[in-house]
Amino acid sequence: MYMAIFLALGQLVSVLLITKMFPDPIIPALGMTLEPFIACFIVQLANVQNLPGDFSMIGFIFIFPGLLIVLMGQCFYQR
C-alpha cells in the first residue's frame, strides 16, 4: 500500500512539473497516452507478471490512433 502512495505522489509531482515546463498541454497529453503501452512493454520485457500480456499491447495499437486524433482535434479546435 505504501508503494502505491509513493508512486501516486511521484506521478502527481511529475505531472505538475511537466505542466509548468510546457505551456501547450498537447505535449504532456501525448506523452501520457503512450504511458500504458510503455508500462506494458516494460512489464512484458522484465517478465514481472503475466497480466496484462501481449493482448494489451496489440489492443493499444488500435486505441492509440483514436486517442491521437482526439488530442490533435482538441488542440486544433482551441487554436
Instruction: Give the pLDDT confidence of 4-55 residue by residue, as tens digits.
Output: 888 888 888 888 888 788 777 777 777 777 777 787 788 888 887 776 677 7
- Tell me how far apart the alpha carbons of residues 2 and 14 are, in angstroms, rounded to a whole number: 18
Record the pTM.
0.54
Domains in the chain: boundaries: 24-78
Among 76, 75, 63, smallest CA distance to 27 is for 75
The torsion of the CA quartet 52, 58, 59, 61, rounded to 10 degrees, works out to 130
> Grid cell 503512450 — which residue?
34
Looking at residue 65, what is its pLDDT?
A: 86
Work out the angle between the directed axes of helices 26-46 and 2-21 (0-180°, nearest 10): 140
